[in-house]
Amino acid sequence: MNEMQGLFKIAVLPGDGIGPEVTAEAVKVLKLVEEITGPRFRFHSGLIGGTALDATAVPLPAETISICNNATAILLGAVGGPQWDSKRREIRPEQGLLQLRQRMGLYVNLRPAKVLDSLIGLSALKPERVRGTDLLIVRELMGGIYFGNPRGIFAKNGGRVGINTEIYREHEVERVAHRAFQLARLRRRKVTSVDKANVLETSRLWRDVVTRIGRSYADVELEHLYIDNCAMKLIDEPARFDVILTSNMFGDILSDEAASLTGSIGLLPSASLGERTALYEPVHGSAPDIAGRNRANPVASIASAALMLRYSCRMENAAAAIEAAIEKVLKRGARTPDMQGKKRAVTTSRMGDLIAAETQKLLKSSKFRAA
């Protein structure tokens, strides 16, 4: 069997910290989806990050690369933890993820952030300010200062210098810009491109290229903001944004800021797309302080699995059912400790069970039954 016949090979890379716990809940939901809908999933697990370092001395073992090369999609948990923090850069857990993005050619990272009415009280901002916020960050993922050379820490004149280099090639900006405009067409048709063109050459090039590409999407409104101004507007008027298109580094920062608008970083999923395969992972990290205690929020991981169904498996119905199930369960008041407030919290696995059961119910209802 292959994809055409409804078999999807999914690489599952749980990683470190809370990664394994939250990924298990996403797999649980996918298995239930499989029971009801036609397509089948075959899961192959691999090591990445600190756990891979401990077992194989590298953060991205060859076997994991080969599992991912053979997969329709990759579902990842999280990488990193204090026990590996003192390692030099090449052998830090984060390198596993960064190398995987490079190896798989994942150049665009989508990070949707939506403020749910039922969770509005959890936002760092006042309800009247965040209400209606529904934005999508489109982050360039394979270039910029994360990967430019020269880089390193060098001895010079009796002291040390640290060097990183931001590089953007025209085609790197073009391809991510196209994706942003295409995605905006499925939403409210507005792209905010974010840069620092008043200071940086890479940003001036970015702005030029985005403006040019924007001309072929005349139905999409394009505006440019400087990163500092955008960071402020995201707090002042978050609901004004639709698609935010930006570089690797700025996107990293803005996506954490956007997460705090929604009430908990434990809610936000992400998709990293290239031409061949795609990677789905929560925006949150490995949260070592709560790892292994059944306290982590599995929503971001389950929502990442929904994105996987949408973008890699073309199972829009199932994706929408999972998203609706998440909203319903949250609306009914289920809260993991990160979003607890005054209510009694549920565990990671309980939250997963609730969402799985609701997804199943919705998939059986006429609204979501596969057409």
What residues line the site for ligand IPM (CB under 6 A)? 80, 94, 97-98, 252
Of 64, 227, 69, the closest CA to residue 145 belongs to 227
Residue nearest to Mg ion (CB): 252
From the list 79-87, 111-119, 220-228, 245-253, the region that binds Mg ion by CB under 5 A is: 245-253
**Residue 252 annotated among the catalytic residues of the structure:** yes
Tokens found for residue 348: 């990671």
From the list 51-59, 86-94, 179-187, 248-256, the region that binds Mg ion by CB under 5 A is: 248-256
- Residue 252 binds to Mg ion (criterion: CB under 5 A): yes
Question: Which of 246-278 are b and which e, b meaning 16 or more Cβ less than 10 Å from the residue's Cβ?
Answer: bbbbbbbebbebbbbbbbbbbbbbbbbbbeebb
CB of 355 to Mg ion, least distance (A): 24
Active-site hit among 228, 289, 343, 364: 228
Q: Choose between 252 and 323: whose C-beta lies nearer to Mg ion.
A: 252
Judge whether 19 and 285 are in contact, CB under 8 Å. Answer: no
Active-site hit among 190, 226, 256, 311: 256
Beta strand pairing call for 108-114 and 134-140: antiparallel
Q: Choose between 254 and 309: whose C-beta lies nearer to Mg ion.
A: 254
In whole angstroms, give the CA distance from residue 253 to residue 320.
Answer: 28
Q: Choose between 254 and 318: whose C-beta lies nearer to Mg ion.
A: 254
**Residue 364 annotated among the catalytic residues of the structure:** no
- Is residue 15 within a helix (H) or strand (E), and if so which, with residue range? strand 7-15
- Residue 140 binds to Mg ion (criterion: CB under 5 A): no
97 interface partner picked from Mg ion, ligand IPM, none, CB below 5 to 8 A per type? ligand IPM
**Residue 353 annotated among the catalytic residues of the structure:** no
In whole angstroms, give the CA distance from residue 284 to residue 219.
Answer: 34
Judged by DSSP in three states, 77 sits in strand
Q: Which residues contact 171 (CB under 8 A, 6 or more apart)?
A: none
76 interface partner picked from ligand IPM, Mg ion, none, CB below 5 to 8 A per type? none
**Residue 256 annotated among the catalytic residues of the structure:** yes
From the list 39-47, 225-233, 246-254, 360-368, the region that binds Mg ion by CB under 5 A is: 246-254
Query: In 91-221, which ranges are continuous DSSP H helix?
Result: 93-103, 127-130, 170-185, 201-215
CB of 295 to Mg ion, least distance (A): 21
Q: Choose between 115 and 265: whose C-beta lies nearer to ligand IPM.
A: 265
234 interface partner picked from ligand IPM, Mg ion, none, CB below 5 to 8 A per type? none
Active-site hit among 196, 217, 280, 353: 196
Q: Choose between 94 and 174: whose C-beta lies nearer to ligand IPM.
A: 94
Taken in order 220, 223, 224, 227, the sign of the CA dihedral is negative
Taking each continuous run of H as one helix and of E as one strand, the counts in the chain are: 12, 12
Residues annotated as catalytic (active site), given as ranges: 146, 196, 228, 252, 256
* Residues of this chain that bind Mg ion (CB under 5 A): 252
